């Protein structure tokens, strides 16, 4: 797939899925000070528009969707009441910009989705499976390591933190983590995930989790052959943490079976609404974007303009 993702080779069936909140946060903190003529913060809006444009130029998708968090999954909260509890509140100036970003997406012809009570991660996983079943290539734009479990030959990740702008496929996941995409759930379940407030097995970090899965292949095999773990302290810690690891697997594994309130056919890239974009850019004071919009949609010059002395 990497060889196909070039500026010279747009794919007829390629879906770009963007983790909306992740990119909105990134845009907000990347541009510290920007406001409209009325003094309203617009830094996240501008940064999001620029990042999305760069991704579209890089990936050249035939279909695109931005997915937003709709709340924490009840099933995960029932398993672990402190799931993601450590995350700080959204910055005050970012909150009102989200609706404006959604307004931009509508004018730009980009589908936007938020399902109540549904985490964006699960919606992305379910839509990825649906697209793959339809024979599409999928690129997931996010820095969340949970998405590595979805990677396969036709599903890759675009990490905004990676300045090389490269895509992460199965080989890149193995190089980065030491385990295969099919082992990512077990890998995270053993070492935990501080970002989501999921504790791991005491004494098990990234390297140990990788070494264990290289040796045993899976958590199931590890617990069946736990006596083969040579280090006594590690063996005892693993033995005492079996329930923790099993719970973590349920927390980490994305729900690919989630019913999606959108069909693949609805995600085809649509023509932008130039007048609507013109109004939005003017309201936000985005002079550069407005100028670029006008240049891109300026009337084509006549090949043979009429002149006063024409025969």
pTM: 0.90
pLDDT at 308: 46
Say if residue 140's pLDDT is above 50: yes
Range of the domain at 222: 181-252
Query: Is residue 141 located within the same domain as residue 166?
Result: yes
The domain that holds 30 is classified in CATH as 3.40.50.1010
Say if residue 142's pLDDT is above 60: yes
Query: Is residue 147 located within the same domain as residue 279?
Result: yes
pLDDT band at 307; cut points 50, 70, 90: low
| Inter-residue contact 169 to 151 (CB < 8 Å) | yes
Query: Is residue 26 located within the same domain as residue 88?
Result: yes
Query: Is residue 273 located within the same domain as residue 238?
Result: no
| pLDDT, tens digit (0-9, with 9 covering 90-100), for 107-134 | 999 999 998 889 999 999 999 999 999 9
The domain that holds 205 is classified in CATH as 1.10.150.20
- Domain tally, the chain: 2
| pLDDT, tens digit (0-9, with 9 covering 90-100), for 33-42 | 899 999 999 9
Say if residue 212's pLDDT is above 50: yes
Query: Is residue 218 located within the same domain as residue 101?
Result: no
Query: Is residue 116 located within the same domain as residue 244?
Result: no
Query: Is residue 110 located within the same domain as residue 189?
Result: no
Average pLDDT over all residues of the chain = 91
pLDDT at 300: 63
| pLDDT, tens digit (0-9, with 9 covering 90-100), for 264-288 | 999 999 999 999 999 999 999 999 9
């Amino acid at each position: 797939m990497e060889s196909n993702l070039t500026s010279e080779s747009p794919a007829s069936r390629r879906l770009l899925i963007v983790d909306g909140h992740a990119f909105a946060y990134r845009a907000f903190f990347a541009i510290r000070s920007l406001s409209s003529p009325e003094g309203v913060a617009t830094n996240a809006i501008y940064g999001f528009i620029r990042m999305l444009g760069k991704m579209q130029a890089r990936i050249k998708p035939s279909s695109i969707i931005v997915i937003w968090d709709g709340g924490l999954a009840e099933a995960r909260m029932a398993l672990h009441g402190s799931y993601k509890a450590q995350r700080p509140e959204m910055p005050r100036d970012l909150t009102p910009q989200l609706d404006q970003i959604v307004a931009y997406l509508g004018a730009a012809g980009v589908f936007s989705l938020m399902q109540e009570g549904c985490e964006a991660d699960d919606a992305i996983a379910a839509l990825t499976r649906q697209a793959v079943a339809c024979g599409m290539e999928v690129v997931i734009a996010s820095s969340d390591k949970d998405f590595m479990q979805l990677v396969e030959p036709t599903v890759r990740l675009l990490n905004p933190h990676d300045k090389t702008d490269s895509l992460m496929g199965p080989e890149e996941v193995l190089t980065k983590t030491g385990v295969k995409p099919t082992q990512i759930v077990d890998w995270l379940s053993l070492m935990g995930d501080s970002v989501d407030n999921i504790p791991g097995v005491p004494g098990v970090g990234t390297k140990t989790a990788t070494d264990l899965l290289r040796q045993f292949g899976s958590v199931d095999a590890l617990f069946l052959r736990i006596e083969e773990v040579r280090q006594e302290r590690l063996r005892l810690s693993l033995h005492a943490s079996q329930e923790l690891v099993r719970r973590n697997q349920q927390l980490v594994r994305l729900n690919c079976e989630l019913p999606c309130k959108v069909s693949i056919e609805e995600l085809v890239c649509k023509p932008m609404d130039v007048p609507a974009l013109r109004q939005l850019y003017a309201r936000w004071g985005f002079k550069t974007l407005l100028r670029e919009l006008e240049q891109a949609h300026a009337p084509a010059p006549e090949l043979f303009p009429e002149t006063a002395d024409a025969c």
